[in-house]
Each structure stands twice: as C-alpha cells, then as structure tokens.
A and B are shown apart, each in its own frame.
Chain A
C-alpha cells in the first residue's frame, strides 16, 4: 500500500499504469490483480479518490489521486520505512 501511495503522490494514474510503475521499480513477481482490492480499500479509507476521466488512449479510465489523508499516510510510510531500513542495515552490518 505504501508503495502505491508513493507512486500516486507523483501523478494521477489508473490501474494498468500503476502496475507498470510497480514493475518499473522491480515488483515483477506481484500479481497485478492484487492492486484492485488494495485500491478499493484505500478508497474506502479515504486515502485515494478514483475519478472516471478520458485517458490519452480514448476511453474513460478510473484515475486515482491522493487525498490529504493519503498524503499524510504516505509520509508516515516513508518515515516508518526509513526507520525500519536503517535498523535492518545496522543489524546486518553488525552481524557481518
């Protein structure tokens, strides 16, 4: 969820484009079907809003963007990740 929040903080995207972004950052093995329940859950929690809008290719697509709560949740995720990541790095360095 945190990664999707970060991706959506850069620009509004629809499902397939989010999956492409995830793939671009190396999340190849994750079945992209899992992003739909996740997006719906985030929508329910008020972190993102999905709006039907005409896409570059033509037909209307559901574009997602972050809400205020979504932005704050993204910031919390980044802080938590930085904390976790530095702790794990320290642990790995010390155990070498």
Chain B
C-alpha cells in the first residue's frame, strides 16, 4: 500500500471511533507523528493504521481504547518509535517538500511587482527559517499530547508561535542579500509559467485538494500580475495611478477569496 493510501484509510477509519476512543487515539497519533521526523514514514503510518483497526475491533467488543492499548500510551508509543527504522531520505524529502512549497508560494507574490530583481538569498533565508519553525511546532505538538497542564502549555505555545511568526515576518522585511536574479521580460514570464506548472501538477496530485483551494486565487492573481508587469505595454498601464488601483483591487479580491474559501473549507470540515 502507498503511504498516502494508508494515511487516507486512517483518516476515514477514525470517523468510526467513539468520542472517548477518538481522543485517546488522537493523542497517540499526535505524539507519534510529532516525534517521527527522522523515521520511515510508511512503516510508521502502517503501524498507526494497524493499531487503529485493532482499537476499532476492541470498541466493537465493548472495550475502551485505554483498556485495550494500555494506561500508559506514551511509554508504548516510545517503544514503537524505537522500533521504527530511521530514514534520512524520508526526512530529507519532507524538509525539501516544505522548503520547495514555501519557495513556490513566496516567489509568485515576489514576482508580482514592478521590481525585476528577485532576491534568491532572501528566499533561501526565509525558507530555512519557516521550515525550521514548522518542524519545531510539529515536534512540540507531539510533545504536548501527553503533558498534564494542557491549558497552560496551549497558551505558552500560542505565545511562542506568535513570537516566532512575528520574528519571521520582520526577517522577511529586513533581510536583503546580493544573491539576486534579474527576472525582467521573458525570463520572468518563463519563471512564473514554470512555477504555475509545478503548482498545478502538485495540486492535481493531491488527494485533499480542498485544503489547498484557498491559495489558488491569490497565486493565480499574483502570477497574472507578474506576467503583466513583464509585458511592456501592460507595464506602462500598471505603474500609472489607475493601474495601481487595479493591482490593489485584484490583491484585495485575492485576499477576500482566500478567507472566503478558508472559511468555507472549515465550515465543511465542521459539518462532517
């Protein structure tokens, strides 16, 4: 079975858990997935699915997940993690995917401006920073799954995450490097076209397209503006006051679409 199929099967089967067992298994899932950055993902996901299927069997026979799996799930999860082989390839793939996705998402808005110079160094710094933050947050979520003072930890993590996000934003505004490429004219258009093509392939290959839907309008608007800025006749129009108003209007439209689709997605998820 493919890793993605195992994850999808897991998500589907979780719907059959009763609320108590759902909480128990949910914590186990958070803890194991959060602590498995260096582990072979497929082996790990197969083990998690196997446990879920057995908990469902136990549930059917009137047994709770805690009675079946044990009162010390953290200790058992640690033992399980010890047995799962390390995979540097899996970790590298994950880090590369996050870094690559970040670069794609950030490059389009960066290209949607009249400035033809693209600061690649800045992109790399941001990419490394945000990838590290994402990994730390995921690891921390795993760590917190079995902590006792949940409310305090939640506030502490929220404050720390907010601080790190603000720091990342400041970093992206203030950092400038000399590692730039000129994206004027056809070079920029080809670059945008390439990024859109990669994003398109990535989007159509995803099983859960709904989660990515909110990003589509803003990416399309950004790509369209980026291309128009690189066509001389449109560039003249866009740098005029009326052109600037159109650009701002389109970006606002993109943001509204983003929040609308995000809200719609959340509502649909809650209804499930």
Query: Do A and B truly interact?
Result: yes
Chain A positions within 8 Å of B, measured between CB atoms, are 14-16, 19, 31-34, 36-37, 40-41, 44, 52, 59-62
Taking beta carbons and an 8 Å cutoff, which residues of B are in contact with A? 1, 9, 13, 46-47, 50-51, 53-54, 57-58, 68-73, 76, 79-80, 82-85
Choose among A31, A40, A62 the residue that contacts B72 (Cβ–Cβ < 8 A).
A31
B50 shortest CB reach to chain A, Å:
5
CB pair B51 A36 closer than 8 Å: yes
For B71, give its contact among A31, A41, A52, A61 (CB under 8 Å).
Answer: A31
Q: A37 and B54 in contact (CB under 8 A), knowing A31-B70, A31-B71?
A: no
When the two chains form their complex, are residues B53 and A61 in contact, meaning their CB atoms are under 8 A apart? Answer: yes
Cβ contact within 8 Å between B47 and A40: yes
CB distance from B269 to the nearest CB of A (A): 24
Set of chain A residues within 8 Å of B50, measured between Cβ atoms: 14-15, 36, 61-62
B251 to chain A, nearest CB (A): 47
**A68 to B184, alpha carbons, bound, how many Å?**
67
Contact A32-B69, Cβ < 8 Å, known A52-B1, A62-B50 = yes
Q: How far is the CB of A32 from chain B (nearest CB, A)?
A: 5
Question: Which residues of chain B are within 8 angstroms of A16 by Cβ–Cβ distance?
Answer: 53-54, 57-58
How long is the Cα–Cα vector from A6 to B85 in the complex, in angstroms? Answer: 26
* B65 closest partner in A (C-beta): A33
B6 to chain A, nearest CB (A): 10
Which residue, A16, A33, A40, has most C-beta atoms of chain B within 10 A? A33
| Closest Cβ–Cβ distance, residue A74 to chain B (whole Å) | 20
Ranked nearest first, the 4 interchain pairs of A and B with the lowest CB-CB distance are A31-B70, A33-B69, A37-B79, A40-B83
